[in-house]
């Protein structure tokens, strides 16, 4: 069976397509909770594990899509 890291370029392409259609940042993680593809503010985190206490982890535990409305404040 292929691991997501084996098809990371394909996964990144899919993430970019989803972002262009839906207009939200996308993260794709493997079964080890390692980010293999991402867009926007998460792109620099590719290759790193997702944080245990995060919305990403919660969505995986619940097996549901979580949509967060996040607007960072400017300093």
Divide the 75 residues of the chain into consecutive groups of 10 and give the mean pLDDT of each group. Answer: 81 96 91 92 94 86 82 65
| Residue 65 falls inside a structural domain | no
- The count of structural domains within the chain is 1
Which residues span the domain enclosing 42?
A: 4-50
| Residue 33 falls inside a structural domain | yes
The reported pTM is 0.77
Are 27 and 50 a contacting pair, CB within 8 Å? yes
Question: What are the φ/ψ torsions at residue 54 (nearest 5 degrees)?
Answer: -135, 165
Neighbours of 7 (CB within 10 A): 14
Pairing mode, if any, of strands 27-29 and 35-38?
antiparallel
Return the exposure string of 24-39: e unless at least 16 CB atoms fall within 10 Å of the residue's CB, then b.
ebbbbbbeeebbbbbb
| Residue 55 falls inside a structural domain | no
């Amino acid at each position: 069976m292929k691991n997501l890291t084996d098809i990371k370029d394909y996964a990144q392409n899919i993430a970019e397509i989803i972002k262009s259609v839906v207009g939200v940042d996308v993260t794709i993680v493997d079964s080890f909770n390692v980010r293999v593809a991402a867009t926007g503010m998460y792109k620099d985190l590719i290759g790193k594990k997702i944080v245990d206490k995060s919305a990403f982890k919660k969505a995986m535990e619940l097996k549901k899509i979580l949509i967060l409305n996040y607007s960072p404040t400017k300093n």
